[in-house]
Chain A
Amino acid sequence: MAPVRLGGSASFTCGLAATMACNDDRIVIEARGLTKRFGNVLAVDGLSFDVEPGRVTGFLGPNGSGKSTTMRLIMGLDLPNAGSVTVGGRKYHDLPWPLREVGSLLEANSIHPGRSARAHLWSLAQSNGIARRRVDEVLELVGLTAVATKRAGKFSLGMTQRLGIAAALLGDPGVLLFDEPVNGLDPEGIRWVRNLCRGLASDGRTVFISSHLMAEMSLTADHLVVIGKGRMIAEMSVTEFVARSSRQSVRVRTPSASSLSDAVRAASGIVIPEPDGSMTVTGMNAADIGELAASLNVALHELTPVASLEDAFMELTDEAVEYRAAP
C-alpha cells in the first residue's frame, strides 16, 4: 500500500498487510455475541458485527448505549461475560506487538497528568519496540511538538485528545479505534480528525470510530454500526441509513416566504426559517408543498427533500432508548 502523507512531514505505511496476511476475507474486527454486564446493567447485549478495512466505520449510539464498553472489550481491558471479539483473527491479548497492529484512543483518561507528552509516548513506544524517532514524528503530526515536555495534566481538552491520537498512531497500526475522538475539539480540530480518519481509511486501514452525534458520523463514516441499550440496531452504509429514514424535511426557497409559511402552518406543517433566507419544512412532503405553492401562485426557487440523519438516527434508536415515554 502506498504511504499516505499526513501533516506534510510524517508518512505512514500500513501495517494492515501483516495483520491480514494469511486471511483473505476482509473482516478485521469481528465481534460475536459480545455481552458485558455491570451489576444490573447489561451494558453490551449480544453484539455481533464486522469491521472492514479501507473505510471508516462509524459506531453510533446514544450516550450510555455501550460504545465505550465495546471499545474496552475489543482491547481486552474489560472481560466479556459472553461472546468474543477478535482483531485480525486474534484476541487483542494475543497480538504480538499490539501497538503496531491496533491504535486506540479511549474516551476515559488514559494518561498520567504528571508525565510529559513525550515521556508518555516514549514509554508506550518502548513497550512495543518502536523507535524513538517515531515519537517526534507523531508529536509533529498532531501539532504538539512545542509542548512535548509539558506535563499532560496542563493540557487543554483538545490537546489531550490530540496526545491520545498521537499515541494511537505511534505504532503505525493497520487498525484504529477512536472512542468519541472529537470530544472537546474546536471546529478546526473536528475537521482535522475527520480528515485524518478519512485519510487513514483511504490508506487501506481499518478505522472504527464511535460517536453519539449522528451529524458527525454522516460526515466522517462510510459505514455504520448503530446500537442502542447495548443491542445492535442497524449495520449498513451511511447512504442506506439515510434512505431508510422516513422522517424527511424539505428545504424551500421562495420570494414569498411569509405567505407560503402561513399556508404551510395552516396545513399543519412546521416551518423553520433558516439564516440564509430559505426555510425548512417538516410534516409535509415536497409534492404537497409544491401543490400548495401552485394554488397560492407562489414561485418556488428551491424545493429539496432533505433526509435528516439526526432524525434517521433518532427514529432507529427510539425503540432502544431507555427512558422512552409510553406510546
Chain B
Amino acid sequence: MTAIPTTPAPAPAPAAAPAAAPIPGGRAGLRQAVRSEWTKFWSVRSTAWSLAATVFLVLGICVLANATAANNGLHVPDPTRRSLVGFLLGQFAIGVLGVLVISAEYSTGSIRSTLAGMPRRPVVIAAKVVVFGVVALVVSEVLAFSAFFIGQALLSRTGYSATLSQPGVTQAVLESGLYLTALGLLALGMATVIRHTAGAIAAFAGILLVLPLVVPALPTSMVNAITRYLPANIGVTILSSAQNTHIFSTPDFSASTGLAILAGYAAAMLVLGGWLMVKRDA
C-alpha cells in the first residue's frame, strides 16, 4: 500500500471574495455521457473478450463450414449464406456484450457512480446505445464482409462461389452486419429491463433458441401468424441472398422488413428499460 499523504494543513480563514472553481454554463448531457461510456466500455476486459469471441465464432465457423464444403465437394445452393453461417453463433457473443454493457453496472454497483455523474437515466441508456451501437455496427460489418470473402475464397474451388456483384449478395452481406448489430441492441434493451446478467443472457438466448422450438407446438393458425415474427426466422432470411424461404404457409418477411422489425424489438425494449429505470431505485 502506498503511503497516505500528509494531512491537510489547517485552512486559512475564508477570504471575502469566493474564488470558486467556475461551474460552466449549460449542463452535462449526451455528449459527456457518450465520452464517459466510451471510456467505460473499453476499460473492462469483458469487452475485448466478447468481441474476440464474436470474431472467433463468425470467422472460425465460416472457415470450418466452407472448407468442409470445398473439400467434400458439397452442393452449395447459397454460397453467401454459407459464408455467413457463423453469425448464428456469433450473435450470442455480441448479445453477451450487449447484456454486460448494462447488467455489469448493476452486478458491480457501478451504476451508482454512473448515475451520480448523470442522474438523467434515459441519457445514460442513450449513451450506451450510441457507444455499443457504433462499435457493434463496425465490428459486424467488418465481420460480414470478412466472412463473405473468406468463405468465397474457400468455395472458389467448388465453382459455387458468389461475388458481390451478383443480385442480392451485397445487400445480404450488409444486412447481415445490421442484423448482428440489431440483435446486440436487443440484448442491451433486454438487460436494461432484466438488470441481471444471467437472466438477461438466458432470455436473449431463449428468444433465439427456445421460441423457434416452442412456437410450432401451438395451433397451426397461430404458428403461421407468429413464426415470421421470430428473430431467429428473420435472421435466416437476412443471412441468405436467396428470396423467401417459404417453409410455412405465411411467407417470411423480406430481409429489409425483417431488419426493421428487429430494430423495432430493440427500440421497444430500450424504451421499456428506460421507462423502468426512471421508475425504479438504482
Contact = CB atoms under 8 A, between A and B. Distances in A.
Interface of A: 1-8, 12-18, 54, 72, 75-79, 92-93, 95-102, 104, 106, 108-116, 119-120, 122-124, 126-129, 140-147, 156, 158-159, 162, 167, 172, 174, 188-189, 191-192, 195-196, 198-199, 202-204
Contacts of A142: 5
A4 B116 contact: no
Contacts of B8: 4-7, 195-196, 198-199
Contact of A93 (B2, B21, B119): B119
A113 B5 CA distance: 24
B276 interface: no
A16 B20 contact: yes
Closest 7 CB pairs of A and B: A96-B27, A199-B8, A127-B117, A119-B43, A127-B36, A17-B18, A202-B11
A71 B109 CA distance: 15
Contacts of A75: 112, 115-116, 119
B40 interface: yes
Name B's interface SS. Answer: loop
A51 B6 CA distance: 28
Contacts of B111: 110
Nearest to A36: B281
A18 B20 contact: yes
B44 A114 contact: yes
B109 A109 contact: yes
6 contacts: A2-B14, A4-B11, A7-B5, A112-B104, A127-B33, A204-B18
A141 B21 contact: no
Interface in B87-145: 104-105, 108-120
Contact of A4 (B12, B24, B26, B35): B12
B48 to A, nearest CB: 11
Given A7-B6, A7-B8, A127-B28, A111 B120 contact: no
Contact of B2 (A95, A114, A123, A143): A143
B99 to A, nearest CB: 15
Given A8-B5, A112-B110, A97 B28 contact: yes
Contacts of A140: 5
B37 to A, nearest CB: 8
B90 to A, nearest CB: 23
Given A99-B117, A140-B5, A158-B1, A126 B36 contact: yes
B4 A188 contact: yes
A1 B19 contact: yes
A123 B21 contact: no
Contacts of A172: 21
B19 A18 contact: no
Contacts of B33: 127
B247 interface: no
Contact of B7 (A76, A145, A174, A191): A191
A8 B109 contact: no
A93 B15 contact: no
Given A112-B104, A143-B2, A167-B113, A101 B119 contact: no
Given A100-B23, A106-B112, A119-B40, 14 more contacts: A4-B8, A17-B18, A72-B112, A76-B115, A92-B119, A93-B119, A114-B44, A115-B44, A122-B39, A123-B37, A127-B118, A129-B28, A140-B5, A142-B5
A147 B20 contact: no
B158 interface: no
A199 B11 contact: yes
Given A2-B12, A195-B7, A101 B23 contact: yes
Given A15-B23, A111-B109, A188-B4, A127 B119 contact: no
A17 B14 contact: no
B2 A147 contact: yes
B9 interface: yes
B20 A14 contact: yes
Contacts of A1: 14-15, 18-20
Given A98-B116, A143-B4, A123 B19 contact: no
Contacts of B37: 123
B256 interface: no
Given A7-B6, A104-B116, A123-B36, A114 B45 contact: yes
Contacts of B12: 2, 4
Contacts of B1: 156, 158-159
Contacts of A143: 2-5
B108 A112 contact: yes
Contacts of B40: 112, 115, 119, 123
B32 A108 contact: no
B35 A126 contact: yes
Given A104-B116, A188-B4, A189-B4, A128 B21 contact: no
